[in-house]
Amino acid sequence: MKIVPGPASTDLGLKISQLLGTKPVLMEYKRFPDGEFYIRFAEEVKGEDVVIVQTTGPPQDSNLLQLLLLTDTAKDLGAKSIIAVVPYVAYGRQEKRYMPGETVSFDTVLKLIRSVDVDYIITVNFHSPDMLESLGKYFTNLSAMPSLANYMLRYKLNGAFSLAPDDGAIEFVKVTSKILKGDYGWLEKKRDRVTGGISVELKALNVKGKDVVIFDDMISSGSTMITAVKILKEQGARRIYAACVHPLLVGDAKEKLMREGILEIIGTDSVPSSVSVVSVAPLVAEALKRWRA
Ligand code: R5P
């Protein structure tokens, strides 16, 4: 098995290689003056099971194209099989036609990935896991929620309340609350499909005097977290943390969250960022060992 750390996930790729005790494939990456990308495999991958580690967080389109270039070339160079480790899958939130005439972008992304002969995809906390069921064994969707909760144990949280900022995150807090040995709760969020604005139904949470961790799959603009923080503060929560698997943190989202009173944002390296303190490498390495066995 050979590991190719893609340009968008170099550190993660190196960590996975280290955990598997394999040397990463020597690669050459550069950009032409016009912005086009250049990729060269500087060593042979013929006859190998090749693992391409490449996230498709922002800038999604260029990271996605790099993933396609890497996988297509590895197959062309004679790789026996291609496993794509794509910890964050771009366009995962556009998996349905919500309004007439919209693109079902995730479908198109999947068709593109399949068109370059990927044999297997490993991803982490894919946004719409139900979508993956129809794909059968082609996908493995790992969860980094236990890793995030285990990381939070070091904060010696008082009361350790796990909050899901919408009902899509309820399954996450069921898991994290067991690890943190505290209660959990959730909010009911609605998003306006045209403006993107969100509204949350007010409800009583048992958080007075407690430390709260809000767990979500991703933080993009930060609006979901900010809405949750406001409600938590009104209800007397003590320290508030935000934990997510995919810290997209678009624009000044991080600063906005800190200004709102979040003590710390904890994310994983599924999308490299300044808050990526938890690595998904051990999870992925174990999944690759299972695949290899
Ligand atoms: C939505 O269903 C997701 O789980 C996240 O809650 C959402 O995508 C976060 O986006 P934002 O940070 O822009 O509110």
Please spell the DSSP secondary structure of 100-159, one letter per residue: TT---HHHHHHHHHHHTT--EEEEES-S-HHHHHTTGGGEEEE--HHHHHHHHGGG--SS
Contact 278/287 with Cβ under 8 angstroms?
Answer: no
Amino acid code (one letter) for 56: T
Counting ligand 1 atoms within 8 A of each CB, the residue from 217, 245, 254, 275 with the most, and so the one to mutate, is 217
Share of the chain above pLDDT 70, in %: 99
Ligand 1 site: residues with CB under 6 angstroms?
A: 165-166, 168, 216-224
Identify the CA nearest to 198 among candidates 238, 157, 167, 235.
167
Q: Categorise residue 272: left if φ over 0, alpha if ψ from -120 to 50, beta otherwise.
A: beta
Q: Is 276 helix (H, G, I), strand (E, B) or coil?
A: strand
Which atom in ligand 1 lies closest to the alpha carbon of residue 224?
A: 14
Q: How big is the chain, counted in residues?
A: 293
Out of 2.120.10.30, 3.30.420.40, 3.40.220.10, 3.40.50.2020, select the CATH number for domain 2-143+280-292: 3.40.50.2020
State the fold for domain 145-269. Answer: Rossmann fold (3.40.50)
State pTM to two decimals: 0.95
Ligand 1: distance of its center to the CA of 141 in Å?
19
Ligand 1: distance of its center to the CA of 56 in Å?
17
pLDDT category of residue 250 using cuts at 50, 70 and 90: very high
Q: Which of 26-40, 131-145, 201-215, 225-239 has the lowest mean pLDDT?
A: 131-145
Residue 281: CB atoms within 10 A of its CB come to: 24
Ligand 1: distance of its center to the CA of 44 in Å?
41
Count H helices, E strands: the chain?
A: 9, 15
Choice between 137 and 281, residue whose per-residue pLDDT is larger: 281
Question: What does the block give as tokens for 62?
Answer: 């260029």
Mean pLDDT, all residues of the chain: 95
- Tell the residue nearest (CA) to atom 10 of ligand 1: 220
Numbered ranges of CATH 3.40.50.2020 in the chain: 2-143+280-292, 145-269
Beta strands 240-247 and 212-219 are parallel
Ligand 1: distance of its center to the CA of 69 in Å?
29
Identify the CA nearest to 220 among candidates 170, 280, 267, 264.
267
Give pLDDT tens digits for 7-51: 999 999 999 999 999 999 999 999 999 999 999 999 999 999 999
Q: Is 21 helix (H, G, I), strand (E, B) or coil?
A: coil
What's the pLDDT at 26? Answer: 98
What's the pLDDT at 184? Answer: 97
Helix 105-115 × helix 60-76 angle, to 10°: 20
Amino acid code (one letter) for 29: Y
Contact 291/120 with Cβ under 8 angstroms?
Answer: yes
Which atom in ligand 1 lies closest to the alpha carbon of residue 196?
A: 13
189 catalytically annotated:
yes
How buried is residue 110: exposed, middle or buried, by Cβ count under 10 Å (0-12/13-18/19+)? buried
Give pLDDT tens digits for 72-124: 999 999 999 999 999 999 999 898 898 999 999 999 998 899 899 899 999 99
- Residue appearing with tokens 């016009």: 34
